[in-house]
A and B are shown apart, each in its own frame.
Chain A
Amino acid sequence: MHTSVWKKALALAAIAPMLLAACSSGGKTASAASGGIFTTVNEAHPITAGAPMNPFNASGNTFDSYDQVELGYSEYSATNPNATFPALAASWSLGKNGSLTVHLQPKARWSNGAPVTATDVKDSAAIAFTQGTQPSNLASVTILGKKEIRFNTIPGSTNQLFTSQVLATTVVPASVYGKELPSNIWTTITAATYTGSNPTKVAAAKKAQASLTTLGKKIAAFAPSKDVSAGPFVLARLNPGEALLTANPDFWARSRIAPKEVVMRNYTGNQQIWNYLIAGQLDAAPYTAMPTNVLHEILHTAGNKEVKSPAYVAASLAFDEKDYPYGITAVRQALAYVLNRKQITTVGESVSGQPVRYQTGIIDAIAPKWLSHQELSSLNPYNLDPAKAATLLKSAHFTKKGGQWYMPNGKPWSMSIESVSGFSDWIAAGKFMASELSSFGIPTTESIAPDYATYLANLAKGAYPVGFWLTALGPSVADAFDRIWGPNDGFVAVGNKVQHSSAGNWMNTPTSYHLPVIGTVQPGTLTADLTALTGSAAKAAVAKLAAAENAELPVISLWDYVNVQFVNDKHFTDWPIGQAGLLNDPPGVWMMQGYVHAK
């Protein structure tokens, strides 16, 4: 996989909560010595010369935690997914009615000298609605003061993820983006978030939602004339090879930021990042898939250090169940028995992957925290067993002639596994799986999409029967299951309701399963409910969903990722080594927290 497509997915995923009271500005307080140039690569996407300096553009030339900043950044805590590092929000508190009041950094200013105000945050929250990244039960925003703002929930709704979802809001200047918003934007938002059953209001809601979608496209295409940043850096210039950001003198915690400049190198694939690392040119590099031989070369370079932390994401094989024969449960189960996950991980992700042990939809590391020993031991481990796979296929009326499997309709069964150009781990693993399946009697090839955007677009169109998919995104289990029984499976939560439709649904799983012992499970509804459940109720829901994933295998999880990053000690020191949560955030957050000092 590219440098951190999964990190971007993690950032976009709503983070789950349990409970939260208040949080105050934390981090180290030591002043950073003024340093030189900090060289890295943008983990979200490569540089696209000519793309606008707009964080809402898919290829936008703004860089998260450098010149693009959020209210807060997730601490990636397995036990409290609402735990958040302060950024533009200095502190926040939950109200009794579920609302969240945010107090902005008193000294926060834009790079043009203007203060960051509640109006900026309110406009940014409105933009989030146009991009579909708003907290799922956010109803409105109330300005309480110049630096104080309250996020109000839809009455009667419950969302345990509300705090983290609000704090993940990217804040942009109202002076730049405000003119892109119509004056009645909050009226439109109110209409769009209607969840009742009044036909007139339902029709108005649909119209308002369409209006927000149209506005979202316009905002995503908007090109500001200059970079106005509230982050620690400002974009100074950009060319196809690199972007140069200079320190923002108006940043609220300027004393913590050591580098005078940040150079963001461009890349076309993992191989280019490997070469930068082997040449010792990067002070920090985000997760990048690589084979073991390349890891050894990188670690031979003076100053390079490997830094590991847990990652809440897994690589899986997903199916479009409307494509025959992948809608047959026995087929997916048979494939799970044929695929040797240990060897697939060795080939595809030997450096930063752990073969998946439990097919649960969540990463193995947190499975014991949610499932009892008895529940875990009752799950099918799908250990390598081609004979069992053959039995399952025969029971589903598949036949094998001349070493080739034939489907019940009499046609020979062949497969194509879809992968993405530049995602070296997926490509290698896909090729290996193709070899395994071909040897089993299912002639399989790997097909490689030219880029991730095309891949996702084709997935959404239902063009791929079988392809790679990132699952178990966390740390929230609700987010993890949302990758299976969420929008990609046609389930969309609006307020406290979950709707199922064909829009965006490329997984096409059944809306309910009947499981032995457990009974009927409606996974889409249960996944949506999970955002509002805590304690034993949440555990019970996770147990049902894990059992459904284990029995029905809408995805086959292959390996859990380990977040392997690299830092180089030549120019900077004091990396947040051992700070597992912080390491999952980009280096600009490390700096905001007082890490990374000049040598």
Chain B
Amino acid sequence: MLRTPGRVAGVVIIVGFAVMGLIGPWIYPHNLPVNANAIYAGPSLAHPLGTDFEGTDVLALLVTGARYVLLSALIAGLVAVVVGTTIGLVAGYLRGLTDLGLSRFTDFALTVPGIPLLVVLSTVYRFTSPYMMGVVLGLTGWGGLARAVRSQALSLRERPYLEAARGLGLPLRHILWRELLPNIAPYVAMNLLLAVIGSIYAETGLFFLGVLPAQVNNWGVMLNLAVFSAGAIGSPQALTYLLAPLVSILLLTLGIVLLLDAVDEIFNPRLRTL
């Protein structure tokens, strides 16, 4: 991986954002200072990315808002991968009635529209916690992965090494997690990263559209306020307020895509270049 600078850049970007999410909220005070005399101030030494509609430092908003975005996206990715992989593996390996039941359940999950569901849920729950946001996004996003993993499991279960495992009388748990899973791990790992990207877009998109209560500081809320309250689309004064979260989302996506490339190469030696 180290031979390819692009992939190193991907890792650096992700580590950078992870550090931002981890320690950012500790660098800045819980209540970021406001200054009504410095509304939409331009970039300066004191405010490298300018200020927002209440004179708050945009860099501080960006850094402190990163945790919600990253944490919820990571949780969403993990939930989708764990649920999707488990259901896919069990359905594909066991076949029969179990497969039938789990496949129909998966089909049902695929028909549940995730974003409208979140909008409906937001009327009773306010999603101030990234954990709940991540869980809901994950629980609405595992269907596609389960179908794909099931197909892989159906194919792999006929391989000789799995027939041997069954012949040896190894328990189901061992076969699923020790024999079957490692062979689809690269696919699952890539899906984890793709799910994380999808979740970032979904949550920032929902906050940007204003369909979720803007109670928390995150990049989607920044985008919403920049466009709908600050008029950043038509006014250059508030441009940094708009660009800061936008560029961050693009950079983070770029980092994940580059890392995805590296992960693919790690798990698939044929892709490695000399």
Given contacts A438-B31, A448-B210, contact A432 B54 (CB under 8 A): yes
In the assembled complex, A63 has its CB within 8 A of some CB on chain B: no
Q: Do A346 and B231 touch across chains, with their CB atoms under 8 A apart?
A: no
Q: Chain B 221-262 against A: per-residue CB contact (8 Å), 1 yes, 0 no?
A: 000010111110111011000000000000000000000000
Q: Do A294 and B54 touch across chains, with their CB atoms under 8 A apart?
A: no
Q: Chain A 442-453 against B: per-residue CB contact (8 Å), 1 yes, 0 no?
A: 000111101000
In the complex, which residues of chain B have a beta carbon less than 8 angstroms from the beta carbon of A506?
none
In the complex, which residues of chain B have a beta carbon less than 8 angstroms from the beta carbon of A435?
31-32, 34, 54, 56
In the assembled complex, B40 has its CB within 8 A of some CB on chain A: yes
In the complex, which residues of chain B have a beta carbon less than 8 angstroms from the beta carbon of A340?
36
In the bound complex, what is the Cα–Cα distance between A296 and B235 (angstroms)? 9
In the bound complex, what is the Cα–Cα distance between A431 and B227 (angstroms)? 16
In the bound complex, what is the Cα–Cα distance between A435 and B40 (angstroms)? 17
In the complex, which residues of chain A have a beta carbon less than 8 angstroms from the beta carbon of B238?
291, 293
In the bound complex, what is the Cα–Cα distance between A446 and B229 (angstroms)? 14
Q: Do B34 and A436 touch across chains, with their CB atoms under 8 A apart?
A: yes
In the assembled complex, A422 has its CB within 8 A of some CB on chain B: yes
Q: Do A347 and B54 touch across chains, with their CB atoms under 8 A apart?
A: yes
Closest to B40 in A: A293
Q: Do A291 and B210 touch across chains, with their CB atoms under 8 A apart?
A: no
In the complex, which residues of chain A have a beta carbon less than 8 angstroms from the beta carbon of B34?
347, 432, 435-436
In the complex, which residues of chain B have a beta carbon less than 8 angstroms from the beta carbon of A347?
34, 36, 39, 53-55
Q: For residues 1 through 57 of chain B, which have their beta carbon under 8 Å from a beta carbon of chain A?
A: 30-32, 34, 36-37, 39-40, 53-56
In the bound complex, what is the Cα–Cα distance between A271 and B242 (angstroms)? 14
In the assembled complex, A274 has its CB within 8 A of some CB on chain B: yes
In the bound complex, what is the Cα–Cα distance between A428 and B126 (angstroms)? 19
Range of interface residues on B (Cβ < 8 Å): 20 to 34
In the bound complex, what is the Cα–Cα distance between A120 and B6 (angstroms)? 76
In the bound complex, what is the Cα–Cα distance between A447 and B211 (angstroms)? 11
In the assembled complex, B144 has its CB within 8 A of some CB on chain A: no
* A77 smallest CB distance to B (angstroms): 34
In the assembled complex, A290 has its CB within 8 A of some CB on chain B: yes
In the assembled complex, A239 has its CB within 8 A of some CB on chain B: no
Closest to A450 in B: B211
In the complex, which residues of chain A have a beta carbon less than 8 angstroms from the beta carbon of B126?
447
Given contacts A291-B53, A445-B215, A448-B213, contact A346 B234 (CB under 8 A): no
In the bound complex, what is the Cα–Cα distance between A446 and B225 (angstroms)? 13
In the assembled complex, B132 has its CB within 8 A of some CB on chain A: no
In the assembled complex, A304 has its CB within 8 A of some CB on chain B: no
Given contacts A346-B39, A347-B36, A448-B214, contact A427 B234 (CB under 8 A): no
In the complex, which residues of chain A have a beta carbon less than 8 angstroms from the beta carbon of B128?
445
Given contacts A435-B54, A447-B213, contact A291 B36 (CB under 8 A): no
Q: Do A294 and B213 touch across chains, with their CB atoms under 8 A apart?
A: no
Q: Do B228 and A269 touch across chains, with their CB atoms under 8 A apart?
A: yes
Closest to A449 in B: B213
In the complex, which residues of chain A have a beta carbon less than 8 angstroms from the beta carbon of B216?
445
**Given A427-B225, A432-B36, A448-B214, 18 further pairs, Cβ under 8 A:** A274-B234, A290-B231, A291-B238, A293-B40, A293-B235, A293-B237, A294-B231, A346-B36, A346-B37, A347-B36, A347-B53, A347-B55, A422-B210, A427-B214, A431-B54, A431-B225, A445-B215, A447-B215
Q: For residues 26 through 63 of chain A, which have their beta carbon under 8 Å from a beta carbon of chain B?
A: none
Q: Do B54 and A428 touch across chains, with their CB atoms under 8 A apart?
A: yes
Q: Do B228 and A270 touch across chains, with their CB atoms under 8 A apart?
A: yes
Given contacts A435-B32, A439-B31, contact A291 B231 (CB under 8 A): yes
